[in-house]
Structure 1
C-alpha cells in the first residue's frame, strides 16, 4: 500500500489497532478492536469518532469580496439555491453534468466572506479542476492540504465536544462556525453522514492527533472505522457516491429532489441555469422512469450491490448498496427500480446465488434520523 496517501491520523490509527484498507487513494481504518457491529451500535448509543480527512476541503473566495458573487457563480454548477444561504449555514448539493447526471455530491457552507466546500475523496481532484475552470473569473479556488477533518457522531456527541468547545452546544443542524480550542482554530459544522446528531470538525493538521486524543479520552467516545460508517449511512438512507449515485443518475431518479430549492425549479426566480437543467426540471414535473428506494429482504441474508430485482418474471432494477443493519437487526438494501413498482410495500424478489428471494420496497431511512433541528 506504499503508493497510497495517509491522513494525519495514520499513526494514531495504527496505535489503536486499526485494520487498514485502501479507500479512495488512502490507507483508511475499516475497523478497530470492537469490530464493525459494536462500533456501529456504539455510535448509535454514545459518540463515535471518525477520521474523514481524506475528503476534500475547498475554499471558494469571491474576487469582489462579496460572498453573494461566489454564490451566484456557484449556482451555474449546481441546482441548489446558494444566494439565499445565510451566513453560518451549510447546504447539501451536487454537481450535475449536461445529461442531468450527478458528478459528485458535496456540502457547501457560507462562511461570511467565502464559501467552504467539502467534496468526496475520490472526486476531489476532478472537482477542484471543475470549480477552477468554471469559477476562475469570479473566484479563487483553493484545495486545502494542511487541515484534517474529524466527524464526531452520536447522541452523546454534543456533551463530548462541548467539554472542549462549550459554544457548539448552541448550534443547530447544518450550522457552521469557527471556534477556538486551546489556541487552535476549529471549523465546526453540526452535520454528519450517520443519521445521528453530531459534528464535523476541520482542524489544522498539526493539532489533529491532539484533538482526537482529547475526545477519545472521554468515556462516551470510541474510534470508529469505515465499515461501521457504511452501515450507519445505509440505515440512514444516505447515498454513497460511486455506488448509489453517479454521473448517470439524475437527482430525481435518486430521490434527491428535496435538495433542489424552489428558486431553482420551474417558476422560481432563478429557474434552471445549471448543467442538465432541461432533464432535471422535466423530471421534477413529470417524474423519472426509475427511482431509488429502500429494499428490505426477508430472512437474514443481505442483498448486496449488483443483486437483480424482479417483479414476477420481469427484471425491474438492481441493488446498489446492501448490508446487515445492526440497529434494525435485519438486512437492508437500497437500489433502483422502475417507478411503477417503487411504492412502499411493493413485493419484489432479488436473485441471490441463483435463487429468487422475497423482498419488499421500504421507506428510508430504515431508522429515524436524530438530527438536532
Structure 2
C-alpha cells in the first residue's frame, strides 16, 4: 500500500498479524488473526484496543473560541465546563452535515476530533469561518488510541487514577507510565471506555503497555464498525451526510433550545414544524442474509419507503441488523417491511435503537 498514509502503529499492526486495508487514505488494520466476530465479542466482554490515529485532531485557540464554534453548530458549546466534551455536527447552509465532531473545552480554547475522511475539508471550512480572534491549529503529530469494554476502567486504573475517575464525556490531562496524555472517557462502541491522545512518538509505547494487560486485545476496523452498528451510532457518509439533516439522523438532542444562528438553521428548524421526510430507524432482519447499505426498503406492496444506510451481522444478537432512513409513517416500532437484496425481498422489522444497550459510565 505505497500510496497510503501510515499511523504511528503501522509496524505494530504488522507484528500483530493484522490484515490491512485502505481507509480514508490510510493503511489500517481491518482485523487480526482471531477475526472480526472474536474481536467484537472480546470488546463486549473484556477490553479492546483500537488504533484511531487516522482521525483528525485540532485546536481552536481564542477567548471566544466557544462562541465562534457555537455559530457553526446546533449549539451547546458555550455551555461546556472545562474538560467537558460534546458530540455535535457542523452544518451546511442547506441543513446537511459537513461532519460530526467531538468538542472538548480546554484552557484558552477548544479541542476537536474530526473524521479521518473529512478532516481536510473541515480544516479548510473552519479556517474560512472562524473570526480573526480565533486560530485553528491542526495537530498531525498526535496519535489517538481507544481502550473500550467493560474491563477498560480496571485496566486504566492501573496506570492513571485520574482517568479512571472520569465520568462519561469528561477529560483530563494525565501521565501513563510517565508519558503525558490527554484521556477522555468516551468511545464509539457503546461500551465504557477511554480515548487516549498522545504524541505519535509515544503511541507504540502506550499501545504495547495496554496490550500487555491480560484482558486487552487489539481490535480492527471491522469490529469497530459492527460495535458501533449494534450501538446505533451514526457513521458519516451513511447516516449523516451533506444532504441528510441531523434531525433526520435522530440527533434532535443536539439542538440547544432557542439557538437558531447556525448554517442551515431555517431549513433544519422548519422540519420541526413541517415534518421530516425520513427518519433513522433500526431494522431486525428476519433471515440469515445480511442487508447492506443501499438496499431499498419497501412496504408489502413494493412501494419504496426508505433505504438502508448501514447493515451487517450482529455478533452479540447472532443475527443481521441494519439502520435505515425511512418515511416516518413506516418507522413505528414493530412495523413489518421488506428489504431488497439482489432483487429478493427479505423480511425486516422496525426496532428501537440501540440494538445493544449502551454501558457508558455515569456516576
The residue number in structure 2 matching 1:323 is: 312
Report if aligned partners of 1:49, 1:153 keep a CA contact under 8 Å in 2. yes
SS at 1:252 equivalent: coil
2:296 to 308, 322, 327: 308
Q: Which moved more, 1:76-85 or 1:44-53?
A: 76-85
Is 1:153 aligned to residue 148 of structure 2?
yes
How far does residue 321 in structure 1 lie from its aligned partner after superposition? 0.6
Cα distance in 2 between the residues matched to 1:224 and 1:135: 37
The residue number in structure 1 matching 2:233 is: 238
Cα deviation code 1:178-205 (max 9, x no counterpart): 1122332101110000000000000111
The residue number in structure 2 matching 1:275 is: 263
Cα deviation code 1:153-211 (max 9, x no counterpart): 00000111111112212100000111122332101110000000000000111110000
Report if aligned partners of 1:257, 1:284 keep a CA contact under 8 Å in 2. no
Cα distance in 2 between the residues matched to 1:348 and 1:124: 37
Cα distance in 2 between the residues matched to 1:251 and 1:239: 10
SS at 2:317 equivalent: coil
Matches within 5 A, 1:95-174: 95-174=90-169
2:198 to 187, 194, 203: 203
* Unmatched tracts of structure 1, length 5 or more: 263-267
The residue number in structure 2 matching 1:349 is: 338
Matches within 5 A, 1:210-289: 210-262=205-257, 268=258, 271-289=259-277
How far does residue 300 in structure 1 lie from its aligned partner after superposition? 1.5
Report if aligned partners of 1:252, 1:287 keep a CA contact under 8 Å in 2. no
The residue number in structure 1 matching 2:86 is: 91
Report if aligned partners of 1:195, 1:233 keep a CA contact under 8 Å in 2. yes
SS at 1:164 equivalent: coil
Q: Which moved more, 1:350-359 or 1:289-298?
A: 350-359
Cα distance in 1 between the residues matched to 2:272 and 2:134: 31
Report if aligned partners of 1:235, 1:366 keep a CA contact under 8 Å in 2. yes
Cα distance in 2 between the residues matched to 1:273 and 1:45: 44
The residue number in structure 2 matching 1:265 is: none
SS at 2:229 equivalent: helix
Report if aligned partners of 1:40, 1:229 keep a CA contact under 8 Å in 2. yes
Is 1:338 aligned to residue 327 of structure 2?
yes
The residue number in structure 2 matching 1:40 is: 40
The alignment's TM-score, normalised by the length of structure 1, stands at 0.95
Cα distance in 2 between the residues matched to 1:138 and 1:163: 41
The residue number in structure 1 matching 2:287 is: 299
Q: Which moved more, 1:333-342 or 1:161-170?
A: 161-170
Report if aligned partners of 2:83, 2:106 keep a CA contact under 8 Å in 1. yes
Report if aligned partners of 2:61, 2:134 keep a CA contact under 8 Å in 1. yes
How far does residue 315 in structure 1 lie from its aligned partner after superposition? 0.7
How far does residue 285 in structure 1 lie from its aligned partner after superposition? 3.8
Cα distance in 1 between the residues matched to 2:30 and 2:122: 25
How far does residue 259 in structure 1 lie from its aligned partner after superposition? 1.5
Report if aligned partners of 2:91, 2:99 keep a CA contact under 8 Å in 1. yes
Report if aligned partners of 1:316, 1:337 keep a CA contact under 8 Å in 2. yes
Report if aligned partners of 1:195, 1:232 keep a CA contact under 8 Å in 2. yes
Q: Which moved more, 1:220-229 or 1:242-251?
A: 242-251
SS at 2:222 equivalent: helix
The residue number in structure 1 matching 2:60 is: 60
How far does residue 286 in structure 1 lie from its aligned partner after superposition? 4.0
* Unmatched tracts of structure 2, length 5 or more: none
Cα deviation code 1:289-342 (max 9, x no counterpart): 111110111021111111111012211111011000001111100011111101
